Structure 1
């Protein structure tokens, strides 16, 4: 009887999730050539091609698509057995800081998975602005935080870069009127940069709403009383992206950064950070830049379709 190599299957699943060899190798802490050789051995053992290398982006062949479901189940069972029989489950609390509009959709999925893998750990989720979260992190009050910034600070890791976009009421016309009426929270990091872009474009503006509540801003915008800006993919319900055709200035890209306490007080802290990172990378619709190497096509991805707040 021939036995499938679980290490090769894990590399195959990582490529499918990350969309390319480069990202997969990073998550597995392996070289790109090592991952490529594992895929080659797996294809030789199965006698079929599982990756489609003919297009600009690496994809799965029909055989690869069929294998993926089996591979996920085999790895999940392997990890469950290994975890139950070898690991003493860590106990304690992790404080996770997340800007309010990044909570959905990624964070509930991460917390659900984390609770399954670490049932004795408790995650305290707090939501605030980036500057507040970074201050709490610096004081040791948070173990893991996500931020949105123009750059990344010391010890941080950029896991996505997203466009800042204009949003308004569905079918609304307020964005066409001048002065342009804006709605923001008092401490919104995007606010001053947007105002500066409007000034450079010679577009008159005024603040319609300055609130302490995100819900107040959303209600004002959805009523077509003002416009707002969010990171692409983080549009709240009842608003839509404004297709302004150049009548409003294009806005900058922002980095979504991950910070993990060093040293981490538990292996579970590192595991939570890894789950958050993977949740961003695994989202569909990411911009892609392709390159060649190691006999496989490798893709660098910027996670899209996820939201972030200031």
Structure 2
């Protein structure tokens, strides 16, 4: 007997995984919590599989659920692409997305591709600036959606994930052993004040090896083993590596990747949803969702 998967049910399943729980997914889908729960139950009955592990305090995707999530994303995305391309109800306009340079890859290009498939007539302008500049532009209404790297969670921000801040140097380099320490951290980098406080608290003398806010200039300096810098885990370019300093350099505080979204319609909400999914998907090997 042929069994057909329903796009509405798959959309609910994806929404639960992406939003972190049935309650939040119901709000996003404009459905009741019981309606979403019923759709998940029907999906499990149709496939004859358990997609959610409800044995713990929260709800986790089973191995089958994680496998289905990959296909469900593709099917929902393809459905939305067909609707957008074959109807005249396409959205038009421009969206300004601001992202710090060091967290653009690998998530943001995939999000831009997905948004373009869903809204081919919407132009997305991507700005890559430091967190301080992006927050200023967002406050002035010059950006519709921004991502930031911050140690806290300010009002109006939504935490997508938390990542460790690492000491980074040239591959096989020794600049981190020198005293005073040559530091290649941008003048307006959000990490700089915390890096300096950590060094000073540890009694480590330091000096600025390059005075620049150009990410490429700073990375080139570090890759030449002329200094060190701090970057978030998962954002290291291939020509740099984490320094295995064995405690000779101080620990650095973890940072949030935060999301700020302006008031807007469907396109902005979809962009925010795609960003949540992209960053939470890479945050943990096993996705946890609260009931």
**TM-score scaled to structure 2, two decimals?**
0.83
Structure 2 CA distance, aligned partners of 1:222 and 1:165? 15
Contact preservation (8 Å) 1:22, 1:32: no
Alignment partner, residue 123 of structure 1: 124
Cα distance per residue 1:23-77 (max 9 Å; x no partner): 465345367765554333333333343456679953223xx57755664565345
Number of paired residues?
A: 285
Change (3 A) 1:33 1:233: farther
Cα distance per residue 1:82-101 (max 9 Å; x no partner): 54576611211111111112
Change (3 A) 1:77 1:28: farther
Contact preservation (8 Å) 1:53, 1:59: no
Change (3 A) 1:172 1:45: same
Q: Indicate whether 1:278 and 2:277 are aligned.
A: yes
Alignment partner, residue 226 of structure 1: 227
Structure 2 CA distance, aligned partners of 1:31 and 1:164? 40
Structure 2 CA distance, aligned partners of 1:90 and 1:102? 28
Cα distance per residue 1:179-224 (max 9 Å; x no partner): 2111112211211211111111122222111213111111111111
Unaligned runs of 5+ in 1: 291-297, 301-310
- For the residue of structure 2 that corresponds to 1:237, the secondary structure is coil
Q: CA deviation at 1:233?
A: 0.7
**TM-score scaled to structure 1, two decimals?**
0.79
Moved more, 226-235 or 129-138: 129-138
- For the residue of structure 1 that corresponds to 2:209, the secondary structure is strand
For residues 58-77 of structure 1, what are the structure 2 equivalents within 5 Å?
Answer: 58-61=61-64, 71-72=72-73, 74-77=75-78
Structure 1 CA distance, aligned partners of 2:124 and 2:178? 46
Unaligned runs of 5+ in 2: none
Instruction: Tell me how large the CA RMSD over aligned residues is.
Output: 3.1
